[in-house]
Copies of this chain bind each other. A is one copy, B any other.
Amino acid sequence: MTSSRDMLFEQKLKEYEIDFEPEFRAGANYEAAVEYENEIYVSGQIPRVRGVIMATGRVGQDTTLEQARRGARISALRALAVMRQSLGSVDRIKKILHVTVYVQSAADFTQQSEVADAASEILYSVFAPDGGHTRTSVGVYQLPKNAAVEIDMIAAISGLD
């Protein structure tokens, strides 16, 4: 069954022309997502699409705020895609509880919140009218594979009917 949130999610992928790989795998020794009772944890997601990192470099120096926002959108959508793979449907996500947004920042780049807003907007669109979530955005010195942004999430989930 395709739910309304799954459709909203698919619409966002189309809107941003993102064609993720058909299956998400983490490295050899960790998981992209872990469900436990009524929660799901998602590993830190960089803006990777079929092996290509779509936003790299230090924001405010090597890359722009707009490129970092694009990276944040992809990371957020990838986190949702990972949860969908684990849960079978985005509809089983009841509430996004917390999102951490790490931004590879130039020494004087202080708009981490504006980068994170792009991820939050995705969540608001897909989970409206209950897209509210807490968020922490920080400026880090580097990220895996020189990614401009990395995002992890915790969400509350419903059981299988």
Which A residues lie at the B interface, using CB under 8 A? Answer: 26-34, 36-39, 41-44, 95, 97-100, 102, 104-113, 116-117, 120-121, 123-124, 131-146, 150, 152, 154, 156
Residues of B within 8 A of A113 (CB): 27, 144-145
Query: Would you give the shortest CB distance from A34 to chain B, in whole angstroms?
Result: 5
Residues of B within 8 A of A131 (CB): 29
Residues of B within 8 A of A144 (CB): 110-113, 137-139
Q: Which B residue's beta carbon lies closest to that of A131?
A: B29
Query: Given A29-B120, A29-B121, A156-B37, does the pair A140, B138 have CB atoms closer than 8 Å?
Result: yes
A133 partner, pick from B31, B112, B137, B145, beta carbons under 8 A:
B31
A97 contacts B142, C-beta separation under 8 Å? no
Report how far A154 CA is from B141 CA in the complex, Å: 24
Residues of B within 8 A of A143 (CB): 110, 112, 138-139
Query: Would you give the shortest CB distance from A12 to chain B, in whole angstroms?
Result: 14
Report how far A102 CA is from B139 CA in the complex, Å: 9
Residues of B within 8 A of A43 (CB): 134-136
Query: Given A108-B142, A142-B107, does the pair A134, B97 have CB atoms closer than 8 Å?
Result: no
Report how far A135 CA is from B97 CA in the complex, Å: 17
B44 contacts A110, C-beta separation under 8 Å? no
- 13 A-B pairs within 8 Å (CB atoms) are namely A28-B117, A30-B99, A30-B120, A31-B134, A33-B134, A34-B97, A41-B98, A42-B134, A104-B139, A108-B142, A134-B152, A138-B150, A140-B140
